[in-house]
Amino acid sequence: MRANLMQPHLHTSTLADGREILYFDEVARPHTETDTRPLTPRSLEDTGEVRYDALHDEWIAVAAHRGNRTYLPPADQCPLCPSQPGRPSEIPASEYDVVVFENRFPSLGPAVGIVPPSQGWGSSSTGFGRCEVVAFTSEHEGSFGTLSVDRAHTVLQALAQRTKALSALPGIKQVFPFENRGKDIGVTLPHPHGQIYAYPYVTPRAQSMGLAALKHFDQTGTVLLADLLRAESESGERVIAQGEHFTAFVPFAARWPLEVQVVPHRQVADLSELSEAEMAELAPMYLDLLRRFDAIYDSPTPYISAWHQAPLDARLRPVSRLNLQITSPRRAADKLKFLAGSEAAMGAFISDTTPENIAQALRSAGDRLAATPANSPTHQEQSA
């Protein structure tokens, strides 16, 4: 492990079409490589649009160009692997630790700006924003859960840096880092990676959570997630892990067959506000939770890992707290939960299990991991 988990070395460059690429290295590298691909220079005019859905009071991104994005390429054509002689990729370097670059097929952007208030039905605007890809490792196989603690820390530092930088762009209202893992979730690139979306509006989920937090604050004078954390900690029935700075628990009203929430013990708006001590605790706790997800069954578990960060809205930000939500639709070794009528059409979830059973399954998975010898194949696969 690197001494004191130092800040990664940051190097910024551009790809052949003008997109920005950032290297977050644990050991300083010069990165003098250039992207030699014959790519057409990107134009800000290629930005899509957002349309206002008056029926639901929501913005919808329209990005028809994403239909041509890369889909499950063979390993020797992976765009996230390091470039090799005769095989250039999205990452010009021949080796790297963590890399962030602008998505070649963005849902929002590359132009940034302010989306004007809607004027009702028929309102539309340029699809301002920014979408970035985060490559966790140069290794093609694996997932976030198979990273070392050092590497997980580097990824978290990269997400924090990007959160701060993207939040400062014109018109950005919310920054959302996330990871989709597994074909059953819809992943189109198997190489371990995540994404970051910088939205020009507050998303429906963040708006709903923010308004609930605002209502709670107006009624009680306290932060909603702080009160929920206190209640879960006092109950202990659904707590999975608890440290000095974070607690991981299954929510009292969990929607998914597998669901965990990780909440900081102090009021923190986003990843960029975490202290070094908090980062140092968060990395191994995050890895432990993902390994528990994989240890429940005899094959890797698909999941969505979502960083809920406070919106850049003056009303909602003070009452919103950073939290990580990890969910999986896997309800049995060979079964997935699909959103049917009630969930998909009405947004009214029906759980097939109890949050208490989910918590017990994850605690038992952790016990099995702890009891597995460190040099066994199973342990190495889950914690490499």
Count of C-beta atoms within a 10 Å radius of residue 6: 13
How far apart (Å, rounded) are the C-alpha atoms in residues 57 and 74?
41
Contact 107, 197 (CB under 8 A): yes
Tokens 């893992």 map to which residue?
181
How far apart (Å, rounded) are the C-alpha atoms in residues 102 and 175?
14
Q: Which helix (H) or strand (E) holds 180?
A: strand 174-181
Measured in whole angstroms, the distance separating CA 159 from the mean position of its chain's CA atoms is 9
Q: Strands 303-308 and 174-181: what pairing?
A: antiparallel
Q: How many CA atoms does the CB half-sphere of 70 hold within 13 Å?
A: 15
The set of residues, in sequence order, having a beta carbon less than 8 Å from that of 86 and lying 6+ positions away, is none
Q: Which two tokens stand for residue 378?
A: 């199973």
Phi, psi dihedrals of residue 173, rounded to the nearest 5°: -115, -15
Contact 82, 91 (CB under 8 A): yes
Phi, psi dihedrals of residue 342, rounded to the nearest 5°: -65, -45
Catalytic residue, candidates 11, 31, 153, 193: 193
Tokens 């924003």 map to which residue?
129
How far apart (Å, rounded) are the C-alpha atoms in residues 24 and 96?
8
How far apart (Å, rounded) are the C-alpha atoms in residues 171 and 2?
38
Max CA-CA distance within the chain?
A: 63
The DSSP result for 45-71, as a single string, is GG--EEEEETTTTEEEEE-GGGGGS--
The DSSP result for 307-331, as a single string, is EE---S-TTTGGG---EEEEEE-EE
Q: Which two tokens stand for residue 186?
A: 């819809």
Active site residue 193: yes
Known catalytic residues are 193
